């Protein structure tokens, strides 16, 4: 079995193992019998069923969807900007989502149900603004425009939080990021959106590969570089905006996972995309699991855990950076 | 094959190429020479359809702007001066040369694989096929990119200093390869040379640029006799025919 096939087998198995663990382990440990009984409903309307269907399965799906979405976003952004440090925050996703949430908390604090929509809207509008500005301009323009728009929106967030300090406490909960209280129904639209983006990324995978040859070579091969880059940026922003709409501003996933995916599949972007989807899921499910058990019955937000796991591992990768480290 | 008619290319308000007119015949090898900053790379990029321009450029009798990007990529191939050190193997890079012929799935057909193998064989990179570009020397990487350009199987090859990182031996075999492609497959070659000896001894035709203006277009022999090279470059040409 070659390396490519090994990866395609090992990662899904790893993901399955982590998912099983996440469903069984928590503040209440479910034995094998309790787990299957609760899952299949053979014990009727039991506590185990309640734990699984109301708490753990929505969290698990949330972690898988957010992990995949942020990873796709980071992978695309690092490819189109040719910058290994690019992540969803670089194209204004975090600042846009944060600003949308802050506006809702400030002007309509009773409409908390609107928060996922305003987070998505803020993130997507901010990135569209950047894409519109950077269309047919250089790769570095994307990054610089992202930094500028983010700075502007962050200033807006700080301004509103100064006007009403109570809003700041609610905003902090969103900015740390977490999956507690996630419900299945709020995952449907993000899952659909990220799924569609995934299929489009796979469809254009071989063209996206050409972007690593630089604009001149890619254009000479018949690739419409400006349009493809704009498409990638829109897909990246849609994926990240969908993820932060229900999971908050999770850091590090969109930066770290693409690096590991490129290590596992250094040549083919399509395979990198599949790896990123699986790895993003593994990382967030694992972080969520640890967050639930480390200080049980208290809970550590998943955003803190992703940074705690991610930062040392990322550092290790940088030290061991080898031949396929370039994008 | 390629015709510039009163073509001007500008970056912002600065004119890089000024009112250029010339034509390249099918199956000819033309060297583009000129001092640094004279507009050689800009001329190649304009000929490749990568830059906007005033005036007209015709490729095979049709205006360049009338071609779709895919049609254009099947007719001309460009090897720019700066080649990125992408995370790709040599074989994958060569296969990318087939991009203009593939659908969105990017799946190579038997004919595409054959072209890729031939291109890698011609540029002598078969033994490097599984190596990453970052593991290659400058000359090897140049040859890997040339394999990509040849796999593109275009009639017009636009090469920007293709022998820049090659040693004398590899340069000679590469120039022989270009000559073979030109004679056997009637490829038209327009290449930037900094090595004046190679340009004068090897090319059928010469284009000489000075400050964005074309000051000579014609045979190498006519250029030699005109004394323009010495005038533009301020050098006397003594060494000759080392690439024959």
Residue A120 has pLDDT above 50, yes or no: yes
Q: What are the residue boundaries of the structural domains of chain B, listed by start?
A: 2-233
Whether A36 is covered by a domain: the verdict is: no
* Mean predicted confidence (pLDDT) in A91-117: 82
Pick from A246, A237, A259: nearest CA to A315: A259
Residue in A with minimal Cα distance to B157:
A220
Nearest to A266 among B87, B97, B100 (CB): B87
Q: How many CA atoms lie within 13 A of B171 on its CB side?
A: 19
Residue in B with minimal Cα distance to A323:
B134
Give the Cα separation of A291 and A34 in Å (integer).
Answer: 22
Interchain CB contact of A3 with B (< 8 Å):
no
Task: Judge: A209–B83 Cβ closer than 8 Å, yes or no.
Answer: no
CATH for A94? 1.10.3470.10
pLDDT digits (tens, 9 = 90+) for A10-33: 889 999 999 999 998 887 888 888
Q: How many domains does chain A have?
A: 1
Distance of CA A125 to the CA centre of its chain: 18
Task: Judge: A212–B84 Cβ closer than 8 Å, yes or no.
Answer: yes
Task: Judge: B100–A219 Cβ closer than 8 Å, yes or no.
Answer: no
Whether A290 is covered by a domain: the verdict is: yes
Residue A2: pLDDT band with limits 50, 70, 90: low
- Residues in chain A with CB shorter than 8 Å from the CB of B135 are 323
Interchain CB contact of B74 with A (< 8 Å):
yes
Q: Which residues 156-195 on chain B approach chain A with CB closer than 8 angstroms? A: none
Nearest to A220 among B73, B106, B135 (CB): B73
Pick from A66, A54, A12: nearest CA to A240: A66
Give the Cα separation of B181 and A175 in Å (integer).
Answer: 61
Residue B244: pLDDT band with limits 50, 70, 90: very low
- For residue A313, the enclosing domain spans 64-325
Whether A19 is covered by a domain: the verdict is: no
Interchain CB contact of A208 with B (< 8 Å):
no
Give the Cα separation of A137 and A255 in Å (integer).
Answer: 24
- Residues in chain B with CB shorter than 8 Å from the CB of A268 are 92
My answer on whether omega of the bond before A202 falls inside 30° of 0, hence cis, is no
pLDDT digits (tens, 9 = 90+) for B129-153: 999 998 888 888 888 999 999 999 9
Q: What is the ipTM of this complex?
A: 0.86
pLDDT digits (tens, 9 = 90+) for A28-63: 888 888 888 878 877 667 887 888 888 899 999 999
pLDDT of residue A135: 65
Give the Cα separation of A296 and A26 in Å (integer).
Answer: 8
For the CA atoms of A305, A309, A311, A314, the dihedral, rounded to the nearest 10 degrees, stands at -140
Q: May I ask the CATH architecture of the domain B2-233?
A: 3-Layer(aba) Sandwich (3.40)
Nearest to A213 among B74, B84, B132 (CB): B84
- Residues in chain B with CB shorter than 8 Å from the CB of A266 are 87, 132
Task: Judge: A220–B50 Cβ closer than 8 Å, yes or no.
Answer: yes
Whether A197 is covered by a domain: the verdict is: yes
Q: How far is A139 from chain B (nearest CA, A)?
A: 14
Interchain CB contact of B96 with A (< 8 Å):
yes
Q: How many CA atoms lie within 13 A of A242 on its CB side?
A: 30
Whether A21 is covered by a domain: the verdict is: no
Q: Best mutation site among B43, B99, B142 for testing chain A: the one with the most A CBs within 10 Å?
A: B99
- A170-174, B123-127, B140-144: range with lowest mean pLDDT: A170-174
* Mean predicted confidence (pLDDT) in A63-84: 90
Report, in angstroms and rounded to the nearest whole number, the Rg of chain A calculated over CA atoms: 20
Whether A52 is covered by a domain: the verdict is: no
Q: Give me the total of CB pairs closer than 8 Å, taking one residue from chain A and one from chain B.
A: 87
Whether A22 is covered by a domain: the verdict is: no
């Amino acid at each position: 079995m070659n390396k490519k096939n090994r990866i395609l087998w090992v990662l899904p198995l790893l993901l399955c193992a982590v998912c099983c663990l996440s469903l069984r382990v928590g503040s209440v440990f479910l034995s094998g019998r309790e787990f299957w009984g609760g899952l299949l409903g053979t014990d009727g309307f039991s506590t185990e069923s309640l734990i699984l269907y109301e708490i753990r399965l929505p969290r698990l799906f949330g972690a898988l969807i957010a992990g995949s979405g942020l990873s796709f976003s980071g992978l695309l952004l690092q490819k189109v900007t040719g910058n290994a440090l690019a992540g969803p925050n670089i194209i204004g996703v975090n600042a846009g989502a944060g600003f949308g949430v802050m506006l809702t908390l400030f002007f309509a604090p009773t409409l908390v149900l609107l928060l996922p929509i305003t987070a998505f809207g803020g993130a997507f509008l901010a990135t569209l603004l950047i894409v519109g500005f950077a269309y047919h301009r250089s790769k570095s323009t994307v990054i610089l425009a992202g930094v500028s728009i983010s700075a502007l929106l962050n200033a807006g967030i700080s301004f509103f939080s100064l006007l009403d300090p109570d809003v700041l406490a609610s905003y902090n909960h969103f900015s740390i990021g977490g999956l507690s209280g996630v419900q299945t129904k709020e995952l449907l639209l993000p899952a659909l959106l990220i799924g569609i983006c995934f299929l489009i990324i796979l469809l254009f995978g071989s063209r996206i590969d050409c972007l690593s040859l630089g604009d001149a070579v890619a254009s000479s091969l018949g690739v419409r570089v400006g349009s493809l880059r704009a498409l990638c940026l829109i897909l990246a922003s849609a994926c990240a905006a969908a993820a932060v709409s229900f999971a908050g501003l999770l850091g590090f996933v969109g930066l770290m996972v693409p690096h590991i995916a490129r290590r596992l599949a250094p040549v083919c972007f399509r395979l990198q995309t599949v790896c990123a989807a699986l790895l993003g899921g593994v990382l967030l499910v694992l972080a969520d699991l640890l967050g639930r058990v480390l200080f049980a019955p208290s809970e550590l937000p998943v955003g803190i855990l992703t940074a705690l796991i991610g930062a040392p591992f990322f550092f290790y990768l940088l030290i061991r950076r080898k031949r396929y480290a370039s994008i | 094959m390629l015709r510039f008619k009163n073509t001007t290319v500008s970056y912002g308000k600065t004119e890089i190429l000024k009112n250029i007119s010339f034509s390249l015949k099918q199956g000819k090898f033309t060297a583009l020479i000129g001092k640094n900053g004279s507009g050689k790379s800009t001329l190649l990029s304009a000929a490749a359809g990568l830059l906007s321009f005033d005036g007209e450029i015709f490729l095979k009798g049709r205006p360049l702007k009338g071609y779709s990007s895919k049609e254009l990529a099947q007719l001309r191939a460009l090897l720019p001066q700066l080649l990125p050190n992408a995370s790709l193997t040599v074989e994958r890079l060569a296969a990318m040369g087939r991009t203009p012929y593939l659908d969105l799935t990017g799946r190579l057909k038997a004919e595409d694989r054959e072209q890729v193998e031939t291109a890698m064989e011609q540029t002598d990179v078969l033994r490097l096929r599984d190596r990453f570009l970052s593991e290659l020397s400058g000359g090897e990487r140049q040859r890997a990119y040339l394999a990509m350009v040849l796999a593109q199987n275009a009639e017009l090859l636009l090469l920007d200093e293709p022998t820049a990182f090659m040693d004398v031996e590899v340069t000679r075999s590469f120039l022989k390869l270009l000559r073979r492609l030109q004679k056997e497959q009637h490829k038209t070659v327009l290449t930037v040379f900094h090595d004046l000896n190679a340009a004068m001894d090897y090319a059928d035709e010469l284009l000489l640029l000075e400050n964005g203006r074309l000051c000579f277009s014609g045979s190498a022999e006519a250029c030699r006799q005109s004394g323009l090279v010495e005038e533009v470059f301020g050098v006397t040409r003594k060494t000759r025919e080392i690439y024959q």
